Each structure stands twice: as structure tokens, then as C-alpha cells.
A and B are shown apart, each in its own frame.
Chain A
């Protein structure tokens, strides 16, 4: 086709359909760049939201859309559900919220793929067939996998990993079968039975891959599902010949993958370990070493307040327990008191503290903690030895010295916060039960450590009250 004739033949509608994906893609990239600093993040988000509006309007102007009733119905339902999901879900429920929305993303992509196949299976070329197949496989895995993750995070499904022998081999076998079906579909796209078998396999695989994952490994899984959701959207772009879907899907897929890598590195897990999800099995570890026979030193909130009165430098180490107890505001109240009496308060955030990347940062930000007080592991780890008191709020594995000095431990080699080096440690914990990984924590029995048992929120309030007297 002659290029100039093509351009001359474009009306406003055609031109809009041609140019909006490009504008939208640029705005998405600019938006992501804004997230590199807290100051510019909000502006970046607005740019991306504007980009999304442009992409949607451009699509609505497309000539292939002939009726708007179904579209309108879907948009109304989606908006009615989306607004409360955006405005009213508490920050402590963010991991659940994110997992659930990944499942919606997977569902949308899978449904589009099925509809495409249903309408065009007689005319699909090999590339289209491959794209549609990957689209539905990734979409369905994301859909059921994210629902499983959501159920586990909500506590509806058992949080402990469900494992049985031969599980890995079985999963790999099913995955191989799915890939074989895709190859056949590329050669013979009209094999309907195979296509719908592929849909069922995807749904099954999502369940099987996540059922064996335990709670503390959720950050990695959520990142991986984020990545799958993105790749599924990119496959849709290939199937529909639509560049903006490819750009967005690649950004989303890449982001999830990078986060999964950061998380797995922070847990000292190998890459294969992450991809095959072959982790999270409970390992019962017998305690060895000098502190094991010791009983922990237990203190009351008053004892803790007494210790804190004479501290000049304090580091707070939050963990998932802080989210469970919703203690972020109580933490901030205590920190305010300490700062008022002249102490220096910092927060040390381990990359895998909580159930998703950055979970602790968001909770503390919600409690109005200034973000220049939140430190990453590398930035603060040398400060612990100069710190008077570290307060551990519901964190366990990320402060366990076994990661440094017990070569047999399942978490050996994992980068941890050097809480054990500070002059004194106060640990707020519900009970002496070992953490999710079932590993004894030497920090709790160390002579420098005072354990204060009970609900973290109530304990913090009691300490603050005792400080005031």
C-alpha cells in the first residue's frame, strides 16, 4: 500500500486509532520513571492514568467496534467493583488485594483468548495460534494461581505448603503436556478439543503451582504472578497485533520478574527455586549452639519502657507481625515519644519483611512515618552496632543470626538485619512459637534480648504509657 495514500485516507478516527497506542506507551514509561523517587511518584502515576484513558478512548474509536451495549455493561460492573477496591481496602490487606487483582487480570486475558479462538479458529495462522495459546495458558495459570494465593493470604486456605512426593515431577509433566499441546496447535490450529484441554490444564496448573507455597514465600509468588499477568497481556498483543498491549505487558512482566529476583535474592534462594516454586516446605530444625539451652529473658512493658528511657539511638525492625496486629500507628506513637525525649529513631526494613515487596514501607507511611526514616538493609546494617536499643516488632526470620552462623540452617546465607549487634534488643512477639519456617531464633535467647510477649499493638501502647509516667 502506498504510504502517502494511506495517510491521506485517514480521517480523525483512523488517525486517533493509529497514534493513541504510541502516546499511551510513552506515558506509561514516563509514569514508571516517576516512581524512581517518592517526590515524583504521584505525578508519574497521573501520567500513566492519563495514558490509560487515551488508550481506551483510541480503542473505542476503532472501526472494529460496532456495538457498545456489552462494553457499557462491563465497564459499569467493573467500575462499581473497582472503586471500593481502590478506596476502602485497608493497607494491611494490600497483599490480598494485589493477589486478587492479578486474578482479575488473568481472567480478562484468558477470556479474550478463548473468545478469539472461538471466533477465528478456522482462520488462525501458526503465529496467531501460538500467541493465543500462550495467552490462554498464562492467563488461566495467573487466574487460578492468584486466587489460590488470595485464599492463602486471607486464611481461607491453609497457609502451610501442601506437598506430596512426586509433586515436582507431576507439575513439570503437566507443564510439558501443555507446551506439547501448544506445538500441535501451532501446526493444526483447528483442533478445538486440544485448545479447550489447554484451557483446563492452565486452570489446574495455577492451583498446583501455588498450593505448595507457604506464607513467608508469598512475596516471591505474588511477584511471579504479577509477571505472568504481564506476559499474558503481551501475548494478547501478539495475537491482536496491538503494540500497546505488548509494551504494557512487557513492562508489567518485566517489573514482576525483577521484583521476584530481588525477593529471591533477599531470601538467598536460587533462581530455579523461584521458577519452579519448589520451596516453602516446612523444615524442623533442632537448635544447636551456645544460646539454645538458655531460656529467653522475659520482660514486662514497664521493663521495656525503663530500658528505652536511657536510649539515645533506637532502630525499629518491623515484620509481618506488625501487619497482623495492625500495630503501625502504635509504633509511630511510641517513636514520637522517644523522639520528643531526644532520641534518634530509625526504621530498618528487610526486603522480604511482610507478605509482599515494600509491605512495611506502606504500612509505616500510612502511620505518617516520614519516609526519610525508613532505611533499606544495606543502608542501615552497619548502624546496629552503634545502636542502644533495637525494637523488633513481629519480625523473626529476617533477624535470625542463624542465617550468619549456622551453616546447616535452611536460612543460612540469607542477608539479615544485624539486630544482634545492637547493645540491647526488645522483641515484641505473641508467643515463643518458632516463626513460619519453623526455625529456632538465637536472638530470642541472647542475654541482650528482652522478650515482651503479647499483642504488639497493646504492648506498644503499654510501653508508651509507662514512658509518660
Chain B
């Protein structure tokens, strides 16, 4: 990696932190558990990296490591979104049938 591309990636990182702060600080205490389940699901984005390692076909060791990583990350993606969905469906207001 060149220094210039590191700087660009760092800009992306800093901007995301900033944008994330803007939206996350508005999440009410009511929804903090769903927020954790939600960020847990999107942290399964490491699935993207795991897919590349598992599918690169370089050698058995790295394919195996990659496959275990794919399994671990996809548990978070699948389980994380399912449980967030289940949780958010429970939050109801009186007199409304929809969450």
C-alpha cells in the first residue's frame, strides 16, 4: 500500500466516524439493544474479507482459515439481522398493530 492510498483510506475512516457519530448519537436509549444487534450484524461485513481469503485459492491453509472466517462472519450477518428484526417487531405503541 502506498502512503497516498493510506491517506485516502484514512479520510474514509475519519469521515465514517464523523457520519456515524451524527446518526448514532440520535438513537434513543429505547433502541440501544437493537442498535447493538444491528451494528453486530453489519460488523459481519468482515464476511467480505473472509470470502476473498477463502476463495483466493492460494493454499489449503489460507482457504481453511478463510472458510472458518466465512462461517464465523456469516453467523453474525444471518443471526444479527434475524434477531434485530425479531426485536424491532416487538416495539409497539398502544393502539397500533404495526411496529
Query: A residues touching B (Cβ–Cβ < 8 Å)?
Result: 24-25, 28-29, 31-33, 35-38, 41-42, 45, 48-49, 51-52, 55-56, 59-60, 62, 64-68, 70-71, 73-75, 77-79, 81-83, 85-87, 89, 91, 94, 97-98, 101-102, 104-105, 107-109, 111-112, 114-116, 118-119, 125, 127-128, 131, 222-223, 226, 229-230, 232-234, 236-238, 240-256, 258-259, 262, 349, 351, 356-359, 361-362, 365-366, 368, 370-374, 376
Contacts and interface: CB of A to CB of B under 8 A. Distances in A.
A75 B70 contact: yes
Contacts of B27: 32, 35-36
Contacts of A25: 16
Nearest to A124: B1
B79 A101 contact: yes
A254 B10 CA distance: 15
A254 B24 contact: yes
Given A52-B42, A119-B62, A105 B73 contact: yes
Among B23, B43, B76, B86, find the residue whose CB has the most chain A CB atoms closer than 10 A: B43
Nearest to A243: B12
B29 A357 contact: yes
> Secondary structure of the A side of the interface?
helix
Contact of B49 (A28, A245, A357): A245
B83 A45 contact: no
Given A32-B20, A66-B56, A52 B44 contact: yes
A361 B92 CA distance: 11
B48 A67 contact: no
Given A71-B67, A254-B20, A370 B93 contact: yes
Contact of B29 (A31, A74, A361): A361
Contacts of A374: 30
B23 A248 contact: no
Given A67-B55, A67-B57, A86-B79, A52 B39 contact: no
A393 B93 CA distance: 23
Given A64-B56, A127-B1, A98 B45 contact: no
A68 B55 contact: yes
Given A64-B55, A75-B70, A105-B40, 17 more contacts: A38-B28, A45-B38, A52-B47, A59-B51, A66-B55, A70-B54, A71-B67, A73-B70, A94-B33, A107-B72, A111-B65, A125-B1, A240-B52, A251-B24, A254-B16, A255-B24, A258-B21
Nearest to A67: B57
Contacts of A372: 93-94
B76 A105 contact: yes
A108 B42 contact: no
A108 B72 contact: yes
Nearest to A73: B67
B30 to A, nearest CB: 5
Nearest to B29: A376
